[in-house]
Amino acid sequence: MSRYRLEPTAAQADALLRQCADARYVWNLCVEQEACWRAGRGRMPGFAERCRQLTQARADNPWLAEGSVIVQQQAIKDHAQAMTRFFAGTHRRPRWRKQGKDEGFRIVAIGPQDVRRLNRNRGEVKVPKVGWVRFRWSRAVPEDAKSFRVTRDRAGRWHVAFAAIPDPVPGPGTGQVVGIDRGVAVSAALSTGEMLSVPGLGTREAARLRKLERKLARAGRGSNRRADAKAKVARLKARETARRKDWAEKASTDLARRFDVIRVEALDIKDMTRSARGTADAPGRNVAAKAGLNREISKSGWGLLVRRIEDKAPGRVEKVPPAYTSQRCSACGHVARESRASQALFRCVACGNACNADVNAARNIAAGHAVKARGGHATRQPANREPQPTLLPA
């Protein structure tokens, strides 16, 4: 993904917001349809069926027909993709999208004629129903981009991101294997002993964020103070997200270049981040502690990192069963819960081998055997939404 700052005029921004509203409306209809489904009611409508429903809805509602059909169909498609990921166990169930928070839409089937450079620092992209919108040409635009996504962050800034399938990064060809353990304190530990950590906010930035959040909590509803604090919080959070994405890009390229086989645990992120709240009848335990852990896991950008490695090193990522990777000694193979001396330290009770607990786990993962069943993504295609010519208007 290459992301650029979009600079729409005021009129264009209104038109873009309208497209966001359309996409959100269609997405939320899909979420509602899923929520209403009960066993015995037959199959959930698939992508094609929903597109037929959309055509019908556009015929009945002129205001919907005014919007771009590509934007609306892509919202259905994005939702279908989200459901696939949910069923695969890697993502949470798609949720209701809110105004002001989840603003964005996707345009597909674009070609070189839809992007042009104006001068050194500016380019233009053609957005259906909006026209040519300027953006900051901060780096080369991928020539083979097939689609782009327009988003508005909570601070009100617009971006355009072009999706091109990244060229595979060649491995060293030496048969080098690396294991990566996803940690919470450290984002990832390599079997080589290296530690990777996601650059989040600095200490001063984090302190500033806390202060702003307190200010936000105290400010009266609808006040200028509140709007001001809200915008500042949004900017800081956007900065954090940008750093995480940038890190995932660099780290995935580096790993794909240095190692021929990259082994990770076949973890079920859905299980790890599932809400601990439980139900009214059976409330969950350690709710606060788990919520904290969930935040850290999502923050660590693990899912993003693995996805990007799979894109850049297709067929070279192996998923290893996670059993005992944290209790097993990577030197002698002895498995004992007592060897995990602390969160950070592993000291084998059999051979005395002592090392960082995450590195020990990463070494076990490097030595592990690939899962054939669900983790087998060896031939997985990148999850970019490819245009489906049969479903797009001519």
From residue 277 to residue 316, the character string flagging contacts with Zn ion as x (rule: CB under 5 A) and all else as - is: ----------------------------------------
> Helices 302-312 & 224-258, crossing angle to 10 degrees?
40
334 binds Zn ion (CB under 5 A): yes
Q: Among the options 22, 78, 103, 181, which is catalytic?
A: 181
Cβ contacts of residue 80 below 8 Å, gap of 6+?
30, 46, 47, 50
Q: How far is CA 255 from CA 1, 313, 360, in A?
A: 18, 9, 19
> Residues 127, 133, 135, CA angle at the centre, nearest 5°?
120
Contact 123, 137 (CB under 8 A): yes
26 binds Zn ion (CB under 5 A): no
DSSP state of 379: T
Could you confirm whether 124 is annotated as catalytic?
A: no
Q: What tokens appear for 138 in the block? A: 């901060």
Choose between 133 and 361: whose C-beta lies nearer to Zn ion.
361
Note the Cα 126 to chain centre separation in Å.
26
Could you confirm whether 114 is annotated as catalytic?
A: no
329 binds Zn ion (CB under 5 A): yes
Phi/psi at 281 (nearest 5 deg)? -75, -35
332 binds Zn ion (CB under 5 A): yes
CB of 318 to Zn ion, least distance (A): 24
Q: Which listed residue (111, 185, 350, 376) binds Zn ion by CB under 5 A?
A: 350
Choose between 185 and 351: whose C-beta lies nearer to Zn ion.
351
CB of 330 to Zn ion, least distance (A): 8
Measure the CA–CA gap between 152 and 102, rounded to whole angstroms: 8
351 binds Zn ion (CB under 5 A): yes
226 binds Zn ion (CB under 5 A): no
Phi/psi at 91 (nearest 5 deg)? -135, 165
169 binds Zn ion (CB under 5 A): no
Contact 311, 169 (CB under 8 A): no
331 binds Zn ion (CB under 5 A): yes
326 binds Zn ion (CB under 5 A): no
Segment holding 177, helix H or strand E: strand 177-182
Could you confirm whether 181 is annotated as catalytic?
A: yes
How many residues make contact with Zn ion (CB under 5 A)? 8
Cβ atoms within 10 Å of 252's Cβ, excluding its own: 23
Q: Which range, of 173-181, 195-203, 214-222, 322-330, touches Zn ion by CB under 5 A?
A: 322-330
Contact 24, 97 (CB under 8 A): yes
Q: Which range, of 206-214, 241-249, 253-261, 349-357, touches Zn ion by CB under 5 A?
A: 349-357
Q: Among the options 265, 310, 311, 318, which is catalytic?
A: 265
Q: Among the options 103, 240, 310, 358, which is catalytic?
A: 358
* Residues binding Zn ion (CB under 5 A): 329, 331-332, 334, 348, 350-351, 353
What residues are labeled active site?
Answer: 181, 265, 358
